[in-house]
Chain A
């Protein structure tokens, strides 16, 4: 009998199938440190037809698989444990770009920033802008329902997705849309299948192509940097700005450890090193009236206790301010070899309280927490630089993270705002959702992937699915006692 690798090689060419353990090493991780899984083989289709054929061969073999874009995910979602890894990065064609309708149709491997570059001649851009946007792919963004700083005003990935062609794990090719928007043929009406698919973390199928909305570049953009001597005041300024009815394009908070890491790196942005926190605030839109909003933001920041408020006067200064924010995770590489980028959401009004609690948790476990996050959305990113090879430190990091998650759940928040559950957050799902709700999630998955071959063992704990009781093992899930 022919091996699966050989069968896949016949479709995509042997050069695009990897089955040797040494060559597969690079695919053992995504951007989540401390968790590794070795795939059995990796296959990289180069065309739409190859992708569909690959999925059909996997279906015929009953073989589970994990799809992967650029591997920038932060929840271990793209790890394949001794099963097939389906790499999509070769599918990077922009199939259509309609500047009048302001839409683009792309293959899943198109890099997020490349789409924005393609829109630039038409003064259009792709609004969702995760910090990894220069590397991450649209397919991965769809899988995770990715966010980013500018999602505060412009919405997350789902808000920009119009239609997707998807190959289901069975090999069936379907077209998904939101149901509540008129289709090109004038018909309208249907379940929000695209809404269910976006953010399903590769468990529902594989994107063949996706049509997304492009956003007109704003007439004017203004970026402010406000610095505070207390983190609490920065959180308070955030609430005041939102309460005043101003909708900034972005409202980001960075605390002192983050500022220190950024300012010591090549990404130094000129953030005041002695500040307890800075807010990076961007206001954009029509040129008329923008200054009024800028003044209002400045006034509100000062009222909340800002020491200084700096307004970037040109594109270069603005870019520099943003570089520090977008590369903050990279800058933390100076502090320690590994970095946990955490993700949780709480009601915005609880930010100040939560930040105090997170600091106390860090102190108690003797870990250094760097906060850099989307304050306007209440979307926290408490990050911990550490050495994953140090078992004691890893255990303390893990304990601190668990406490932070529990605290966010208790605050009425959620365990992930944009990074996904993957493998990393599986242990919290039963804390967050009732048994009936988790079982309903399993039913939703079963609509798309009844055999659960796409990204098995992720997102919803296997034991939560009543239909599967006693059937599956937790083989592809987190391993008991694993040190992170």
Chain B
């Protein structure tokens, strides 16, 4: 992979030119953000790599609106740092780690352990700027939290693994951090599995609830198999939730950073190898990248 010619366009226009040029020459481009998702799908027989390395940085952040826009190549770590000082979260927290880019997170639709409460990429992306396989420069969505103007290109592009368009910028919904945020570890046994799951579905609406296998738990210094439960809210709510957790079994509080290790261990989704290629999906690919310039073969489509 590393021996490939790498394009690093500096502007959206240059991205469009690279794509049109590749289409004309019948070449295939492999898209690269931080390079952390390169081996998750099927192999891509690329002629060149198109890096989003030049599209970095936060382009707009209005804390009072809980929205943020950033270049696709911006790392999650950078977004985390920028939002933290305002008591906010970039709520993607995908499986993997924060060296990954926001563009790749949206492009691969990679969710994480808090998605049920904080939202999935497909719900947090308010808009994308991208260039499709025909070189069209698309600005979909807006920096507003509700929007039904026109057909929803943001939804089509999010989670499409770069096979419809190259994302250059994303508009995201943010969340306020809860006043109190605690993570509790509980012994995972057959009897606690059901009760913890019921707790997760209950009124306390925990931010995350993950079962950590015994080998992982040992590596993380948690001893035996554990449930990790993250609760957030005002002090009264968290106190009540804490009481409810303790009623489920022997529980102790752990550092919230444990979640970073959990996310790193989370299996990169095998979704890219089990892609549903029905007639509509093939037509979608055909309409947006007829020459199969972008990530050809990654999703296992029959040529």
Q: List residues of chain A with CB under 8 Å of any chain B CB.
A: 144-145, 147, 151, 155-156, 158-159, 172, 174, 176, 178-180, 187-193, 195-196, 198-200, 203, 216, 218-219, 239, 242-247, 285-293, 296, 345-349, 374, 377-379, 412-421, 425, 429, 432-434, 436-441, 443-448, 459-460
Residues on B with beta carbons closer than 8 Å to the beta carbon of A189: 269-276, 299
Q: State whether B122 touches A438 (Cβ < 8 A).
A: no
Q: State whether A188 touches B274 (Cβ < 8 A).
A: yes
Q: State whether A417 touches B150 (Cβ < 8 A).
A: no
Closest to A177 in B: B276
Take A174-B279, A348-B64 as given contacts and tell me if A196 and B148 are in contact as well, using a CB distance cutoff of 8 Å.
no
Closest to A420 in B: B148
Take A195-B158, A289-B233, A377-B145 as given contacts and tell me if A245 and B87 are in contact as well, using a CB distance cutoff of 8 Å.
yes
B160 in the interface (beta carbon within 8 A): yes
Q: State whether B153 touches A345 (Cβ < 8 A).
A: no
Instruction: Give the docked Cα–Cα distance between A437 and B274 (Å).
Output: 30
Annotate B66-87 by CB proximity to A: 1 below 8 A, 0 otherwise: 1100000000000000000001
Closest to A178 in B: B122
Q: State whether B149 touches A416 (Cβ < 8 A).
A: yes
Q: State whether A144 touches B148 (Cβ < 8 A).
A: yes
Residue in B66, B111, B280 whose beta carbon sits within 8 Å of that of A242 in the complex: B66
Min CB distance A100 to B, Å, is: 10
Q: State whether A156 touches B66 (Cβ < 8 A).
A: no
Residues on B with beta carbons closer than 8 Å to the beta carbon of A377: 145-146
B189 in the interface (beta carbon within 8 A): no
Instruction: Give the docked Cα–Cα distance between A439 and B63 (Å).
Output: 33
Apart from A195-B152, A440-B140, what are 10 other A-B pairs with CB-CB below 8 Å? A151-B146, A188-B269, A219-B203, A243-B64, A415-B149, A429-B149, A429-B150, A432-B150, A436-B137, A447-B284
Instruction: Give the docked Cα–Cα distance between A460 and B149 (Å).
Output: 9
Q: State whether A180 touches B121 (Cβ < 8 A).
A: yes
Min CB distance B256 to A, Å, is: 17
Residue in B149, B160, B274, B280 whose beta carbon sits within 8 Å of that of A447 in the complex: B280
Instruction: Give the docked Cα–Cα distance between A174 and B283 (Å).
Output: 13
Residue in A190, A434, A444 whose beta carbon sits within 8 Å of that of B139 in the complex: A434
Q: State whether A199 touches B144 (Cβ < 8 A).
A: no
Q: List residues of chain B with CB under 8 Å of any chain A CB.
A: 62-67, 87, 109, 111, 120-123, 132, 136-140, 142-153, 155-156, 158-160, 164, 176-179, 201, 203-205, 233-241, 269-276, 278-281, 283-284, 287-288, 299
Most buried by A among B62, B63, B146, B272: B146
Can you name 17 A-B residue pairings with CB atoms under 8 Å?
A159-B123, A189-B299, A242-B64, A289-B240, A345-B142, A374-B146, A377-B145, A417-B144, A421-B148, A437-B136, A437-B138, A437-B153, A438-B150, A440-B138, A445-B151, A448-B280, A460-B151
Q: State whether B235 touches A289 (Cβ < 8 A).
A: yes
Q: State whether A432 touches B204 (Cβ < 8 A).
A: no
Instruction: Give the docked Cα–Cα distance between A80 and B225 (Å).
Output: 61
Take A179-B276, A288-B237, A448-B280 as given contacts and tell me if A196 and B109 are in contact as well, using a CB distance cutoff of 8 Å.
no
Instruction: Give the docked Cα–Cα distance between A412 and B147 (Å).
Output: 12
Take A180-B122, A446-B287 as given contacts and tell me if A347 and B62 are in contact as well, using a CB distance cutoff of 8 Å.
yes
Residues on B with beta carbons closer than 8 Å to the beta carbon of A291: 236
Instruction: Give the docked Cα–Cα distance between A418 and B204 (Å).
Output: 30
Residue in A155, A286, A345 whose beta carbon sits within 8 Å of that of B147 in the complex: A345
Closest to A439 in B: B136
Min CB distance A74 to B, Å, is: 11
Q: State whether A347 touches B67 (Cβ < 8 A).
A: yes
Min CB distance B161 to A, Å, is: 9
Q: State whether A196 touches B152 (Cβ < 8 A).
A: yes
Instruction: Give the docked Cα–Cα distance between A347 and B143 (Å).
Output: 7
Please provide the 7 A-B residue pairs with the shortest distance between their CB atoms, ordered closest to farther: A289-B237, A195-B155, A245-B176, A288-B240, A189-B271, A190-B276, A289-B236
Residue in A158, A287, A296 whose beta carbon sits within 8 Å of that of B203 in the complex: A287
Min CB distance B215 to A, Å, is: 24
Instruction: Give the docked Cα–Cα distance between A174 and B122 (Å).
Output: 21
Instruction: Give the docked Cα–Cα distance between A371 and B138 (Å).
Output: 33
Take A195-B156, A218-B203, A288-B237 as given contacts and tell me if A417 and B281 are in contact as well, using a CB distance cutoff of 8 Å.
no
Most buried by A among B144, B148, B150, B278: B148
Instruction: Give the docked Cα–Cα distance between A199 and B139 (Å).
Output: 18
Min CB distance A418 to B, Å, is: 6
Residues on B with beta carbons closer than 8 Å to the beta carbon of A443: 287-288
Instruction: Give the docked Cα–Cα distance between A199 and B147 (Å).
Output: 10
Residues on B with beta carbons closer than 8 Å to the beta carbon of A288: 204, 236-237, 239-241
